[in-house]
């Protein structure tokens, strides 16, 4: 790190000449410290800039294979029978209806052979109104056609060539044939062991069994790797995305010769890179020049900032006076605040006294209301009693008057005879 800083402080012209003469010598530190080199910046490429061979080499040197994808066998009948039989035997195993060579022929009740596909068409297709054998006209159905054991036996004894080697013959670089063998050996054993047989990889590509390891190590897009720098897992298909974003990958500064882990790059450019354009330290007071960090010291020497500093001093004096004025205003406000606080306390005391007086008056009002209701009740009772007495007196007077009238004869009763 010190070597790089010393080199950055030298003149740019001599520094560029020296950097052009440098080779690929590198100095690396441990994973816990920043890695720096004096390698030319032009020799540090991003992963996307590498050629196909360079990408393969880069992947193997910066990661390790931790998982291999699975392979799925293709269907068993992935070859044509007439391609592996001897020419003299092809006619024996050819369907006499469709003329296709097949290992699966069924017979009618009379022993006439045809491939399963032809029998299905005769029996199931509506175009055939008569479901009969085309050779002997015997009625046929799915239940009456059956396999011919003799046909199967002679086929198993036929000499055949390896269909998987023949299918990839043009691409077989070693040209080591599997040889010939009986058809029964092909079905029972060889088809599961042949190194030329194609199987489908999880990535979707057809691969020979003998080339599975090579395919997985060099080509397969689903092979899993683990980055040696950050331990993150990824498949080959995502290798470019990972290596272009891996935080611990060694990268070069685009401005100077220093290299480091990717997560340190932004911090380096913002705070240390000698080739980064930065604002002058006096930009806040008026210097608007943008220069490279390595030229800052020279800028301070050559550029006169005294005028700017004087203006700052004047502004500071002005601010000082303004501050003193604000202190005086603040003192006055504090005094007024204390005065208002005292007045508020007095008003609160008066409020408390008024509340007490109010409560006393409210109590007296309640007493008066009670006395008032009492007086009304007394008056009402007195009135009722007086009325009752008057009524009684009137009744007594009426009774007395009625008694007097009954004791004396009426004038009409005195008749002179």
Cα–Cα nearest to 81, from 64, 99, 59, 60: 99
Q: What is the pLDDT of residue 100?
A: 93
Cα–Cα nearest to 76, from 157, 218, 186, 235: 186
> Can you point out the beta strands (E) in 68-108?
71-73, 105-107
Given a contact cutoff of 8 angstroms between Cβ atoms, the answer to whether 224 and 233 are in contact is yes
Residue 337 and residue 352: Cα distance in Å, rounded?
Answer: 23
Residue 279 and residue 400: Cα distance in Å, rounded?
Answer: 133
Q: What is the pLDDT of residue 76?
A: 54
Question: What values do phi and psi take at 171, rounded to 5?
Answer: -100, 5
Residue 323's H or E segment, with its range, is helix 306-407
If one counts every other C-beta atom within 10 angstroms of the C-beta of residue 90, the result is 13
Q: What is the pLDDT of residue 13?
A: 38
pLDDT in tens, the chain (417 residues): 343 334 344 333 333 333 333 333 333 333 333 333 333 444 566 777 788 888 888 888 888 888 777 776 654 556 788 888 998 899 999 999 999 999 889 999 999 999 999 999 999 887 777 899 999 999 999 999 999 999 999 999 999 988 888 876 555 556 677 888 999 998 888 888 888 888 888 888 888 888 888 888 888 999 999 999 999 999 999 998 999 999 999 899 988 889 999 999 999 999 999 999 999 888 888 888 898 999 988 888 888 787 777 888 888 888 998 999 999 999 999 999 998 999 999 999 999 999 999 999 998 998 998 888 888 888 888 888 888 888 877 777 777 666 555 554 544 444 443
What are the residue ranges of helices labelled H in 163-252? 163-167, 183-185, 191-193, 212-218, 239-243
pTM as predicted: 0.47
Q: Torsion-angle region of residue 360: left (phi > 0), alpha (psi -120 to 50) or beta? A: alpha
User: Reduced to 3 states, what is the DSSP secondary structure of residue 198?
Assistant: strand
Cα–Cα distances in angstroms (integers) from residue 275 to residues 269, 292, 296, 390, in the given order:
8, 5, 11, 127
Q: What is the pLDDT of residue 378?
A: 87
């Amino acid at each position: 790190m010190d070597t790089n800083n010393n080199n950055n402080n030298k003149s740019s012209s001599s520094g560029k000449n020296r950097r052009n003469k440098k080779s690929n010598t590198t100095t690396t530190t441990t994973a816990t410290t920043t890695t720096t080199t004096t390698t030319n910046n032009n020799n540090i490429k991003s992963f996307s800039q590498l050629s196909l061979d360079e990408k393969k080499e880069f992947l193997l040197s910066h990661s390790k294979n931790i998982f291999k994808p699975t392979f799925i066998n293709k269907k068993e009948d992935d070859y044509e029978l007439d391609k592996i039989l001897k020419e003299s035997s092809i006619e024996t195993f050819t369907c006499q209806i469709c003329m296709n060579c097949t290992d699966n022929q069924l017979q009618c009740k009379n022993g006439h052979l045809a491939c399963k596909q032809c029998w299905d068409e005769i029996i199931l297709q509506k175009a055939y109104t008569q479901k009969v054998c085309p050779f002997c006209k015997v009625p046929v159905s799915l239940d009456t056609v059956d396999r011919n054991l003799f046909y199967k036996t002679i086929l198993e004894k036929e000499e055949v060539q390896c269909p998987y080697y023949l299918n990839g013959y043009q691409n077989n670089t070693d040209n080591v044939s599997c040889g010939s063998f009986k058809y029964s050996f092909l079905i029972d054993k060889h088809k599961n062991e042949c190194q030329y047989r194609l199987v489908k990889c999880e990535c979707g590509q057809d691969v020979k069994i003998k080339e599975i390891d090579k395919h997985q190590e060099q080509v397969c897009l689903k092979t899993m790797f683990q980055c040696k720098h950050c331990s993150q897992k990824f498949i080959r298909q995502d290798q470019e995305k990972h290596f272009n974003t891996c935080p611990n990958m060694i990268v070069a500064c685009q401005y100077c010769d220093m290299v480091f882990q990717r997560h340190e790059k932004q911090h380096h450019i913002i705070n240390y890179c000698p080739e980064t354009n930065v604002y002058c330290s006096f930009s806040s007071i008026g210097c608007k020049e943008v220069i490279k960090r390595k030229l800052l010291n020279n800028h301070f020497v050559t550029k006169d900032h005294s005028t700017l500093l004087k203006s700052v001093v004047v502004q500071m004096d002005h601010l000082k006076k303004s501050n003193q004025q604000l202190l005086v205003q603040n003192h006055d406000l504090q005094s007024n605040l204390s005065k208002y606080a005292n007045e508020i306390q007095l008003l609160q005391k008066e409020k408390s006294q008024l509340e007490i007086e109010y409560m006393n008056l409210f109590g007296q009002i309640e007493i008066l209301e009670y006395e008032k209701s009492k007086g009304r009740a007394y008056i009402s009772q007195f009135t009722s009693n007086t009325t009752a007495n008057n009524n009684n007196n009137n009744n007594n007077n009426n009774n007395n008057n009625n008694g007097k009238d009954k004791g004396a004869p009426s004038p009409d009763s005195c008749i002179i005879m």
